[in-house]
């Protein structure tokens, strides 16, 4: 097999224009990520410290193994939500190593709005449930939450219920949930420790109850204290909700680590990112993708900058060239790569379909890389069976049983998004670059289609067209469509697991492959109907 060799010139004017544009987007990303790290007002942070409490991110650091990386997930959830609690909501979550075991860690930000769950946070919790189940990962909840945000109750209510259902189903499958309660766990928040396989409560700090003293007084006229209703001592000695009573925060975390050590058998050694590094510099990833996504580029130039030894062995190199398929390794993990290299033609779809079958036969996970405006349209292509060939590819993606990882690096529009395992096709993980645009179709195409429909409708109804009004509506629609297609909107709505700096691509992909390879990979030899 012939290895691809990149000919990118990092001194060229176009490379540096692209790099400058990407760096501006990364600057915006870093600004938003800093916003997501805000853990409350200055006064609430002082109050927490005065009570001897650690903050959410500090608790995660204490829990993780000393040399563990932490892959934070969905840090910008709710970024664009008008009535939300800011990017990231009221929880910090991600995956890291605890006692050499890969675990999901979900840490409530008790110092931010009391850790109550807004809509974005409820969506994060649901996504974490999916990741835990698919990857058979233990979840450790670091609990300090006032339950659902009541103004959001109509949107949070069902998500809360679904989260509890998934906790129960995971427990049935032997996938543990461990909860460590450091403060209030009220109302819906009480069911998190209540439904966990193991629950640890911190003495004199943890308070777990369905209703606090004021609500109990109002409902039953009963007088009670916090400790009588839901204190750690009471739950450890009377109700039995608590399995372990911790003296302080450090003791609680020590107990959680011991539970993981004793109960989880899958020791996974963390692989470092310096195994067989690429030959090319990762900084070069910044200048390859054009500022204007209408301009083509060779997707292989990206691939060889994050795979082992920059080796990409291409499958059917000269056939269906708008789809690049091939075999590589990332941190010594084998991976099949399907990368859209522009519009998807029939030949490209057929090639990717065959490649998916091969990956399944060989039990190799697939990395999908997006840069496409979708399937090719037009009379000749329709007559040539574009619908059938596109459907074959979608069948293959939906029927594939090896793990999928998806990376969006440019355009991701229409059915091309589905065929390349977009969010609706449930890849194990999905990350995006900060320049990505995604939706049904591009903003200009969308506005143009709507203009044609309105013009034809007016003609058919014999109505005079107001061209000024039509042009204004078209411009407004382009602005709106651009905003909805932007990565800032899609990440806010949890259509990805995070926006990443292109230079960190190898870190994220290798971490995901560590998680995926924790279990034995098994593919499928059976698929949906391929209409030939």
Percent of the chain topping pLDDT 90: 74
Residue 148 CA to residue 508 CA, distance in Å, equals 31
Using pLDDT thresholds of 50, 70 and 90, give the confidence band for residue 216.
Answer: confident
Whether 31 contacts 25, CB under 8 Å: no
Instruction: Encode pLDDT of 400-432 as tens digits.
Output: 999 999 999 999 998 899 999 999 999 999 999
Residue 40 CA to residue 57 CA, distance in Å, equals 12
Whether 509 contacts 429, CB under 8 Å: no
- CB proximity list for 307: less than 8 A, separation 6 or greater: 278, 328, 329, 330, 335, 337
Per-residue model confidence (pLDDT) at position 137: 97
Whether 328 contacts 359, CB under 8 Å: no
Residue 97 CA to residue 271 CA, distance in Å, equals 11
Whether 406 contacts 422, CB under 8 Å: yes
With 60 as the cut, is the pLDDT of residue 515 above it? yes
Which of 117, 124, 127 has the alpha carbon at shortest distance from 148? 117
Upper half-sphere CA count for residue 222 (Cβ side, 13 Å): 12
With 60 as the cut, is the pLDDT of residue 531 above it? no
DSSP labels, 468-492: HHHHHHHHHHHHHHHHHHBHHHHHH
- CB proximity list for 160: less than 8 A, separation 6 or greater: 117, 122, 125, 148, 188
Tell which wins on pLDDT, 471 or 516: 516
Residue reference for tokens 């302080």: 248
| Mean pLDDT value across residues 20-24 | 98
Per-residue model confidence (pLDDT) at position 167: 95
Upper half-sphere CA count for residue 340 (Cβ side, 13 Å): 32
Instruction: Encode pLDDT of 79-126 as tens digits.
Output: 999 989 999 999 999 999 999 999 999 999 999 999 999 999 999 999
With 60 as the cut, is the pLDDT of residue 532 above it? no
Using pLDDT thresholds of 50, 70 and 90, give the confidence band for residue 383.
Answer: confident
- Residue 527 structure tokens: 């698929």
Using pLDDT thresholds of 50, 70 and 90, give the confidence band for residue 299.
Answer: very high
Long-range contacts of 210-217 (CB under 8 A, 24+ apart): 210/186, 211/186, 211/187, 212/186
Measured from the Cβ of residue 338, the count of other Cβ atoms closer than 10 Å reads 29
Per-residue model confidence (pLDDT) at position 474: 80
Instruction: Encode pLDDT of 336-378 as tens digits.
Output: 999 999 999 999 999 999 999 999 999 999 999 999 988 887 8
| Mean pLDDT value across residues 458-472 | 80
Phi-psi region of 298 (alpha: psi -120 to 50; beta: other; left: phi over 0): beta
Strands 91-98 and 101-108: antiparallel
The CA–CA distances, whole Å, from 296 to 200, 263, 318 equal 55, 51, 18
Per-residue model confidence (pLDDT) at position 175: 96
- CB proximity list for 321: less than 8 A, separation 6 or greater: 341, 348
Using pLDDT thresholds of 50, 70 and 90, give the confidence band for residue 382.
Answer: confident
Residue 63 CA to residue 58 CA, distance in Å, equals 9
Residue 293 CA to residue 413 CA, distance in Å, equals 12
Instruction: Encode pLDDT of 276-294 as tens digits.
Output: 999 999 999 999 999 999 9
With 80 as the cut, is the pLDDT of residue 397 above it? yes
Give the angle 307-313-317 at the CA atoms, nearest 5°: 130
- CB proximity list for 433: less than 8 A, separation 6 or greater: 22, 289, 407, 408, 409, 410, 487, 499, 500, 502
């Amino acid at each position: 097999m012939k290895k691809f060799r990149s000919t990118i010139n990092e001194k060229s004017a176009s490379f540096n224009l692209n790099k400058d544009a990407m760096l501006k987007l990364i600057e915006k990303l870093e600004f938003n990520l800093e916003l997501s790290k805000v853990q409350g007002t200055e006064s609430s942070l002082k109050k927490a410290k005065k009570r001897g409490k650690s903050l959410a991110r500090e608790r995660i650091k204490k829990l993780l193994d000393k040399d563990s990386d932490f892959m934070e997930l969905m840090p910008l959830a709710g970024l664009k939500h008008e009535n939300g609690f800011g990017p990231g909501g009221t929880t910090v979550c991600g995956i890291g190593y605890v006692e050499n075991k890969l675990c999901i860690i979900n840490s409530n930000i008790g110092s931010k709005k009391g850790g109550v769950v807004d809509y974005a946070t409820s969506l994060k919790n649901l996504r974490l449930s999916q990741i835990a189940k698919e990857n058979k990962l233990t979840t450790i909840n670091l609990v300090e939450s006032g339950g659902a945000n009541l103004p959001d109750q109509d949107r949070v209510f069902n998500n809360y219920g679904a989260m509890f259902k998934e906790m129960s189903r995971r427990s049935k499958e032997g996938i543990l949930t461990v909860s460590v309660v450091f403060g209030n766990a009220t109302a819906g928040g009480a069911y998190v420790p209540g439904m966990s396989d193991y629950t640890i409560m911190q003495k004199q700090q943890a308070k777990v109850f369905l209703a606090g003293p004021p609500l109990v007084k109002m409902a039953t006229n009963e007088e009670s204290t916090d400790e009588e209703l839901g204190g750690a001592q009471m739950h450890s000695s009377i109700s039995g909700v608590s399995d372990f009573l911790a003296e302080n925060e450090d003791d609680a975390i020590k107990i959680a680590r011991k539970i993981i050590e004793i109960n989880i058998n899958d020791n996974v050694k963390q692989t470092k990112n310096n195994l067989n590094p690429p030959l090319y510099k990762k900084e070069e990833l910044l200048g390859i993708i054009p500022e204007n996504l209408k301009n083509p580029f060779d997707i292989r130039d990206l691939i060889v900058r994050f795979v082992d030894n920059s080796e990409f062995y291409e499958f059917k190199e000269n056939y269906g060239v708008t789809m690049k398929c091939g075999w590589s390794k990332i941190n010594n993990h084998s991976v099949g790569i399907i990368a859209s290299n522009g519009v998807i033609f029939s030949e490209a779809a057929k090639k990717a379909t065959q490649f998916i079958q091969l990956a399944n036969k060989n039990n190799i996970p697939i990395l999908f890389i997006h840069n496409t405006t979708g399937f090719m349209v037009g009379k000749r292509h329709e007559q040539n069976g574009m619908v059938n060939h596109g459907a074959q590819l979608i069948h293959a993606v939906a029927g594939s049983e090896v793990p999928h990882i998806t990376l969006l690096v440019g355009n991701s529009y229409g059915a091309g998004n589905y065929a390349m395992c977009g969010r609706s096709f449930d890849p194990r993980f999905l990350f995006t670059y900060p320049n990505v645009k995604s939706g049904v179709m591009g903003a200009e195409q969308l506005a143009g289609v709507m203009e044609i429909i309105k013009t034809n409708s007016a003609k058919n109804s014999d109505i005079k067209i107001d061209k000024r009004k039509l042009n204004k509506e078209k411009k407004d629609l382009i602005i709106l469509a651009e905003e909805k297609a932007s990565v800032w909107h899609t990440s806010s709505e949890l259509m990805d697991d995070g926006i990443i700096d292109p230079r960190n691509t190898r870190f994220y992909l290798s971490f995901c492959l560590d998680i995926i390879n924790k279990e034995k990979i098994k593919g499928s030899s059976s698929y949906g109907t391929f209409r030939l």
